[in-house]
Structure 1
């Protein structure tokens, strides 16, 4: 290939109307037209001049049987050999019938019956009988006598181009068909018959969705689906009973309503498409509308993806076979080995789907080389969408010479020491520097993988459908899973597919979590370790501690699921609860802090009236360093524009600190009330087990009521109604609580106070242990020590968090919500990717590839604004907490009331 710095395209046929949008987009990208010396457009130029152009684009299928491909061929051709198996309705129908026999009807029952007349006349006659038998006991026949018995007849499209297919006519009986075949519309023409799909209606209109599918190679096989499908809504309203005489515009799409012109969808289009901007994604709008109607759009999308994958995967053997039949020209002197053609052919199809009345997708046609001409509707045009599609397609296939990065610069020779030191982990398939090491990839496989890897990086709005993480489609390949497929699958499985995988439900392996967010893996592991210490203390202290701990766990879950459901999102940990929303470690960690604060408060031996103030303060002291590092290390993220979360201390919402204080305050209030009026005695009573365990259920309910009352009076009233700043109110609350704490401690030895208290060992069997042996002190030390290590040695800029976060979407869309005092507040419904204040970024991911209105995506950590302040806070808190709990839990010098059960007398 001659050295060129810009790309060229070649049209091997006379220029047609359908070429115009493609040519315009190529010229906009700086891809110029190649003109032959004789100015003749011919496929024969591939043999003589292929070194002079990079892309061959034709509307009609190439004459592959007559082509002679040069020995060295680097251009791309926009047709895949053997694609007629998909784009010919008859060939596709026969192919899928064969797949039903191979894999079972269940897996390939997604194409309506298709009949080519006259050769399929007998099959059609049998089909009439079969549909009548199936519909005989159908309950819907009560209101529609012809349900599931309808067929469509139409003139066969020229060259199997379904984009140019003529209008269909509906019929039910064989007599209807005969009448139509003799009419002026069909007389003397080649016709085809398709079984009718009883439609899922969009507000009384039939609709069709066309998904643009690109196959860029068969070695390894790579299938991409474009994120903006074409949605067509039938022009006429669907009749209550569809009969032969009904308006064909109710079930044909030669003329259609654009989704942004459809009245029931317009409200969800925040931006209409234009000649320069794609606007709101119509497919997302349609799915949102269907969800409101009770349609499971997640299942619907999965089934559409499965149909596309099965059709293409089961055809790879055909593609490879047809490609192998291509003639190659004789090698010239110095040509070397022939170039590999596996990446020389690509194809763009439009998979047209209709959805039946049970929301099942049916593939009604595969269009070859679909039209890219913009369609002007009443309110808008899809011109920019199709321009962007062509732009992304041309980038995806790598037309520009600059897009083809030199493989030799990345494939370094094997170095035994480097391989031993750096390449022991073979799961790091994204690291090209290791590919030449023993046990990795052969040079040819590495070259193909490099091509696929760089192509994937240029995908734009194309989403990779195959290979996928789940690998559930691999069974439908009609060829063996080659070493090229395995290599690319390894690369995708460990790298960036996490952002665009069709299925968002993926387990995070422990090693993966260590690589992505070491701090989260550490804090989760330490939480489970401290649970062991906690269980030792619970076991020695008795069942009252166990019931109190379970009640604390329920309390935490109530707060997280009811109060923080739309305010906080957690990163994916090793063990997740409640459908990926809540990590187990978080529930256990907060319950531990409740337990620690509860036991420490009981050991203060102060008046029970003042104990809730002490527990609230202790809970805030315990939880603050976790909140400080939690949002910094992306253990969780907060809503960016919630006005209740706007006031923050070092990134920690004061709102959350008030909630921790209030719910721990309410928890201890509920405990004292239930201990007085519900429980019997100071210790767990087996004969009253029903009271003991009903305490578990009552505690979070009563505690929540007390907490809500305290929040209304101490937080919402003062901050949101009176207008005191949240930080001022918070410090006043903590100061007032510490004052009450100190006053109560001064009077702790009064006889009336000691008489009202439980025995000292009721909730703390370690009360006579030394400081170092006390399980609660050990838990405090373990947690604080780990937090110090994390802040000193973990750089938040190296952290990646995959999981649910605030959904991305329209920056202008607001939503309203009400606080506990009934005040209405406004906040942005979605995170604005161009403007947010949270301590993370979107990993420099292209905005156009982020999933609109989706909460599952990847974020990356940001650096410290003031590292010294974080270190000082964590170190200071650790020292204060350990000294404080040492004083609170150390062996008492004297005590008024102890347990006679343990044989210790009162002083």
Structure 2
């Protein structure tokens, strides 16, 4: 199946492939390239946080499918469109030489040249569905502001996932890519920027294209349209969500970062606060605060429960699991010549530079190392498939504090919206009555 495979040095870990190094990936056929299976027990013994994360997303996706089918309207289309949108983003990211700057750990089922774990196929659907569901209850008057609100909610859902998954080597980032150089707990600030912009862009196309192709112009935005209009919305939101999201980088990020040296952190915080203030202003003017919100049915309560569990999964990982026990065997950044570089082209034609290979003698990724291997020896030059080891927390209490804060903020935001807004628009509570309620 594989060529140029060296013997495993299975010394300290009783797991398949521990210490194995591969310099090329040769497959027996299309199915072998497309799909790989790994024993869940094997992953649990070496990478338990990864198993929990994967099942968490798969269970969430199953709940959303049931919720979408029961609710009807455009909700099934939203789930499917977000999933195809995610496929487009991920596949371009894996196979475009100008991006290709992260490598996932091997999951129970890994697709497309051992690059896409099974749970990633539904990750965008889980993020966007939760965010869209909560924002739909806010009854914002401006469509554009509603799309921005979905972007903000998506970032809020993503943050604990990004922080924990990097620390527990669910994936690794390219060591010297300038677009992901600025980090927050080893998470590139551009990861948050990406989710904010791409989810906003997706929402624009998903709702706008349907309205353009739908002959019945009086439909509510969540009422299902004709098959023709919904398929158009699915196709174009999937294909155009990424390039339009990139416009946010062209208009703001690249001019400031590439030409003026503004940090990714400052740029992301800027756009985050701009989005937040705009949404806050329109929310204050929405006038849709209901005396008694609509009751949630069982599946809606389960879905809201999944949202709460989402934060507890990653907070619990920081509390109960040790990142230094995590071991990831699979495809990672290729190891090679420390002096060989390659250009990084940006949308504005600024040409930056990064090392073409991981330099194991001099790299700055403190969330993983090779100390769990025999004598702590790093993999050989030319390896594309090898073992990485998690590292200890520099300060576990700080991680727990930050994740607890994110969990608290998310809970307060979501429970406030669910408690004050119904699934269907009602008459606003009169100001005098609102005072009584307060």
TM-score > 0.5 by shorter chain: yes
Alpha-carbon offset, residue 499 of structure 1: 0.8
Q: Which residue of 1 aligns with 2:20?
A: 499
Question: How many Å separate the matches in 1 of 2:43 and 2:279?
Answer: 42
Which one of the candidate residues 251, 261, 264 is aligned to 1:726?
264
Larger RCO, structure (CA 8 Å, separation 6 or more): 2
Alpha-carbon offset, residue 495 of structure 1: 6.0
Deviations along 1:487-536, whole A, 9 cap, x unmatched? x9xx9985666514799687421111011100001111111222222122
Which one of the candidate residues 664, 673, 684 is aligned to 2:224?
684
Contact 1:771–1:886 at 8 Å: present in 2 too?
A: no
Alpha-carbon offset, residue 642 of structure 1: 0.7
Q: Which residue of 2 aligns with 1:102?
A: none
Deviations along 1:654-678, whole A, 9 cap, x unmatched? 1111111110110111123213212
Q: Which residue of 1 aligns with 2:84?
A: 554
Report 1:569-718 matches (<5 A). 569-606=103-140, 607-679=142-214, 680=216, 681-682=219-220, 683-685=223-225, 688-718=226-256
Question: How many Å separate the matches in 1 of 2:210 and 2:232?
Answer: 12
Deviations along 1:302-336, whole A, 9 cap, x unmatched? 7xx9xxxxxxxxxxxxxxxxxxxxxxxxxxxxxxx
Contact 1:771–1:891 at 8 Å: present in 2 too?
A: no
Q: Which residue of 1 aligns with 2:93?
A: 563
**SS class of match (1:850):** coil
Deviations along 1:849-868, whole A, 9 cap, x unmatched? 83432221000000111211
Q: Which residue of 2 aligns with 1:817?
A: 344
Alpha-carbon offset, residue 811 of structure 1: 0.8
**SS class of match (2:137):** helix
Question: How many Å separate the matches in 2 of 1:776 and 1:592?
Answer: 10
**SS class of match (2:74):** helix
Larger Rg: 1
**In the alignment, structure 1 residue 878 sits paired with structure 2 residue 407:** yes
**In the alignment, structure 1 residue 789 sits paired with structure 2 residue 316:** yes
Deviations along 1:420-477, whole A, 9 cap, x unmatched? xxxxxxxxxxxxxxxxxxxxxxxxxxxxxxxxxxxxxxxxxxx44xxx99xxxxxxxx
Alpha-carbon offset, residue 617 of structure 1: 1.3
Alpha-carbon offset, residue 707 of structure 1: 0.8
Contact 2:84–2:238 at 8 Å: present in 1 too?
A: yes
Q: Which residue of 2 aligns with 1:344?
A: none
Query: What is the Cα-based RMSD across aligned positions, in Å?
Result: 3.1
Alpha-carbon offset, residue 633 of structure 1: 0.5
Contact 1:771–1:890 at 8 Å: present in 2 too?
A: no
Contact 1:669–1:706 at 8 Å: present in 2 too?
A: no
From the superposition, tell whether residues 579 and 667 of structure 1 become closer, same or farther in structure 2 (CA, over 3 Å): same
**In the alignment, structure 1 residue 829 sits paired with structure 2 residue 359:** no
Q: Which residue of 2 aligns with 1:62?
A: none
Which structure 2 segments of 5+ residues have no match?
28-35, 428-438
Q: Which residue of 1 aligns with 2:44?
A: 514
Q: Which residue of 2 aligns with 1:904?
A: none
Question: How many Å separate the matches in 1 of 2:378 and 2:398?
Answer: 37
- Residue range with higher mean Cα deviation, 588-597 or 883-892: 883-892
Report 1:268-667 matches (<5 A). 301=3, 463-464=6-7, 494=15, 499-500=20-21, 507-563=37-93, 565=95, 566-606=100-140, 607-667=142-202
Deviations along 1:34-82, whole A, 9 cap, x unmatched? xxxxxxxxxxxxxxxxxxxxxxxxxxxxxxxxxxxxxxxxxxxxxxxxx
Alpha-carbon offset, residue 629 of structure 1: 0.6
Report 1:740-889 matches (<5 A). 740-749=278-287, 768-769=295-296, 773-838=300-365, 839-842=367-370, 843-845=372-374, 850-889=379-418
From the superposition, tell whether residues 836 and 492 of structure 1 become closer, same or farther in structure 2 (CA, over 3 Å): closer
Q: Which residue of 1 aligns with 2:277?
A: 739
Question: How many Å separate the matches in 2 of 1:676 and 1:528?
Answer: 31
Question: How many Å separate the matches in 1 of 2:13 and 2:47?
Answer: 20
**SS class of match (1:810):** coil
Deviations along 1:97-144, whole A, 9 cap, x unmatched? xxxxxxxxxxxxxxxxxxxxxxxxxxxxxxxxxxxxxxxxxxxxxxxx
Contact 1:777–1:882 at 8 Å: present in 2 too?
A: no
Contact 1:568–1:638 at 8 Å: present in 2 too?
A: yes
Q: Normalising to structure 2: TM-score of the pair?
A: 0.84
Contact 1:767–1:889 at 8 Å: present in 2 too?
A: no
**SS class of match (1:609):** helix
Question: How many Å separate the matches in 1 of 2:326 and 2:423?
Answer: 50
Alpha-carbon offset, residue 827 of structure 1: 0.5
Contact 1:600–1:889 at 8 Å: present in 2 too?
A: yes
Contact 2:18–2:387 at 8 Å: present in 1 too?
A: no
Question: How many Å separate the matches in 2 of 1:647 and 1:869?
Answer: 19
Question: How many Å separate the matches in 2 of 1:613 and 1:663?
Answer: 10
Contact 2:176–2:354 at 8 Å: present in 1 too?
A: yes
Alpha-carbon offset, residue 723 of structure 1: 2.9
Alpha-carbon offset, residue 890 of structure 1: 2.9
Alpha-carbon offset, residue 569 of structure 1: 0.4
Alpha-carbon offset, residue 801 of structure 1: 0.3
Question: How many Å separate the matches in 1 of 2:374 and 2:350?
Answer: 38
Question: How many Å separate the matches in 2 of 1:661 and 1:773?
Answer: 25
Q: Normalising to structure 1: TM-score of the pair?
A: 0.42
Question: How many Å separate the matches in 1 of 2:13 and 2:316?
Answer: 33
Report 1:54-203 matches (<5 A). none
From the superposition, tell whether residues 492 and 744 of structure 1 become closer, same or farther in structure 2 (CA, over 3 Å): closer
Which structure 1 segments of 5+ residues have no match?
1-297, 306-462, 470-487, 755-759, 761-765, 899-907
Question: How many Å separate the matches in 2 of 1:537 and 1:611?
Answer: 21
